[in-house]
Amino acid sequence: MNPSALEDLIHALRDPDSALHEIPLDLSIVERIKQVPRKEVPDMPDRIVAATSLYYGIPIISKDGKIRASAIQTIW
C-alpha cells in the first residue's frame, strides 16, 4: 500500500473540486439494508456499502466476490 494513500484520501475528501465525497450513514441508508440479503452479503460493512448504492441508485465499484455475486449492481 502506498504510504501516502491515507493522506491523499483525506486531501481529496477536503477538496471541494474532488470527485470523492463523504456520504454520512443516515436513516435512509440504514432502511435500505433490509434490501441486501444477509445470505448474499453477510458482512455488515459490505451491506452498508451495498445499501448506500441502492439508496443513491449507483453501482458499487468492488472486487468483493460476495457483493459481485449478489443482485447489487457492481463495476470491476
pLDDT, tens digit, for every residue of 11-69?
999 999 999 989 999 999 999 999 999 999 999 999 999 999 999 999 998 888 999 99
Q: Which domain holds residue 58?
A: 22-75
Distance CA 29, CA 26 (A): 6
- What does pTM read for this prediction? 0.80
Q: Is residue 54 part of a domain?
A: yes
Q: Is residue 70 part of a domain?
A: yes
Q: How many domains does the chain have?
A: 1
- Residue 63 cell numbers, joined: 472486487
**Quick one: pLDDT at residue 76?**
78
How many residues can be counted in the chain? 76
Q: Is residue 11 part of a domain?
A: no
Q: Is residue 58 part of a domain?
A: yes
- In which band, very low, low, confident or very high, does the pLDDT at 2 lie, cut at 50, 70 and 90? confident
Q: How many C-beta neighbours within 10 Å does residue 29 have?
A: 18
Q: Is residue 8 part of a domain?
A: no
Q: Is residue 1 part of a domain?
A: no
Q: Is residue 49 part of a domain?
A: yes
